[in-house]
Amino acid sequence: MIRTHYSTQITPDMKESVTICGWAHEIRDLGGITFLVVRDREGLVQVTLFKKTIDKNLLEIVRNLSRESVVAITGTIKKEAKAPNGYEVVPTEVKVLGKADSPLPMDTTGKVDADLDTRLDVRFMDVRRPYTQAIFRIRHLILKSIREYLDNDGFLEITTPKVVATATEGGTALFPITYFEREAFLNQSPQLFKQLMMSGGLDRVFEIGPIFRAEEHDTRKHLNEATSIDIEASFLNNEDVMVILENLVKYIYMKVQEKGATYLKTLGVELKIPEIPFKRITYSEAIEIARKNGEKIEWGDDLSTESEHTIGKTIGEHYFIVDWPSKIKPFYALPYEDKPELCRAFDMMHPRMELSSGAQRVHSYEMLRDRIEAQGLNPDGFEFYLKAFKYGMPPHSGWGVGAERLLMTMLGIENIREVVLFPRDRKRLSP
Ligand code: ATP
Ligand code: MG
Q: What is the pLDDT of residue 167?
A: 65
The angle at the Cα of 363, spanning 194 to 202, to the nearest 5 degrees, equals 35
Decide whether any atom of ligand 1 lies within 6 Å of the 417 Cβ. no
Atom of ligand 1 nearest to the CA of 224: 27
Ligand nearest to the CA of 169: 1
pLDDT at 171: 58
Task: Determine whether the shortest distance from the Cβ of 402 to ligand 1 is under 6 A.
Answer: yes
Residue 234 has, within 13 A of its CA and on its CB side, a CA count of: 17
Average pLDDT over residues 51-67: 96
Is the Cβ atom of 223 under 6 angstroms away from ligand 1? yes
Tell me which residue has its CA closest to atom 20 in ligand 1. 402
* Residue 251, pLDDT above cutoff 90: yes
CATH code assigned to 125-278+317-419: 3.30.930.10
d(CA 336, CA 199): 22
Q: How many CA atoms lie within 13 A of 55 on its CB side?
A: 10
What is the 3-class SS of the chain, one letter each residue?
CCCCCCHHHCCCCCCCCEEEEEEEEEEEECCCEEEEEEEECCEEEEEEEECCCCCHHHHHHHHCCCCCCEEEEEEEEEECCCCHHHEEEEEEEEEEEECCCCCCCCCCCCCCCCCHHHHHHCHHHHCCCHHHHHHHHHHHHHHHHHHHHHHHCCCEECCCCCEECCCCCCCCCCCEEEECCEEEEECCCCHHHHHHHHHCCCCEEEEEEEEECCCCCCCCCCCCEEEEEEEEEECCCHHHHHHHHHHHHHHHHHHHHHHCHHHHHHHCCCCCCCCCCCEEEEHHHHHHHHHHCCCCCCCCCCCCHHHHHHHHHHHCCCEEEEEEEHHHCCCCECECCCCCCEEEEEEEEECCEEEEEEEEECCCHHHHHHHHHHCCCCHHHHHHHHHHHCCCCCCEEEEEEEHHHHHHHHHCCCCHHHHCCCCCCCCCCCC
Mean pLDDT, range 292-311, rounded to an integer: 97
Q: Is 400 in the pocket of ligand 1 (CB under 6 A)?
A: yes
Asked whether 308 and 405 are in contact (CB, 8 A), the reply is: no
List 302's β-bridge partners, or say none: none
Is there an atom of ligand 1 within 6 Å of 169 CB? no
Cα 355 to ligand 1 centre (Å): 7
The average pLDDT across 316-344 equals 98
Q: Verify whether ligand 1 is closer than 6 Å to residue 160 (CB atom).
A: no
- For 7-98, CATH number? 2.40.50.140
Give the pLDDT confidence score for residue 172 in this predicted structure: 67
Give the ligand 1 atom nearest the CA of 169: 10
Q: Indicate whether residue 228 lines ligand 1 (CB < 6 A).
A: yes
Every domain of the chain with CATH number 3.30.930.10 lies at 125-278+317-419
Mean of all residue pLDDT scores within the chain: 96
Measured in angstroms, how far is the CA atom of residue 347 from the centroid of ligand 2?
Answer: 6
In the predicted structure, residue 282 carries a pLDDT above the cut 80: yes
pLDDT band at residue 168, thresholds of 50, 70 and 90?
Answer: low
- Ligand 2 centre to CA of 327 (Å) is 14
Report the share of the chain in percent with pLDDT over 70.
Answer: 99
Could you list which residues have their CB under 5 Å from ion ligand 2?
357
More confident residue, 380 or 122: 122
**Beta carbon of 129 within 6 Å of any ligand 1 atom:** no
* Cα 326 to Cα 427: distance, rounded to the nearest angstrom: 34
Ligand nearest to the CA of 399: 1
Q: Is 38 in the pocket of ligand 1 (CB under 6 A)?
A: no
Residue 142 dihedral angles phi and psi, to the nearest 5°: -65, -50
φ and ψ at residue 184, rounded to 5 degrees: -135, 180
Main-chain phi, psi angles of 15, to 5 degrees: -95, -30
**Dist. CA 277–CA 247, nearest whole Å:** 8
**Residue 353 Cα: closest atom of ligand 1:** 3
Angle, to 10 degrees, between the axis of helix 130-152 and the axis of helix 403-411?
Answer: 120
The whole-number pLDDT of residue 113 equals: 85
Tell me, using a 6 A CB cutoff, whether residue 357 lines ligand 1. yes
Q: Is 408 close to ligand 1, i.e. is its CB under 6 Å away?
A: no
- Position 202 scores a pLDDT of 98
Per-residue pLDDT tens digits for 73-127 = 999 999 999 999 999 999 999 999 999 999 999 998 878 889 999 999 999 999 9
For position 166, what pLDDT does the model report?
78
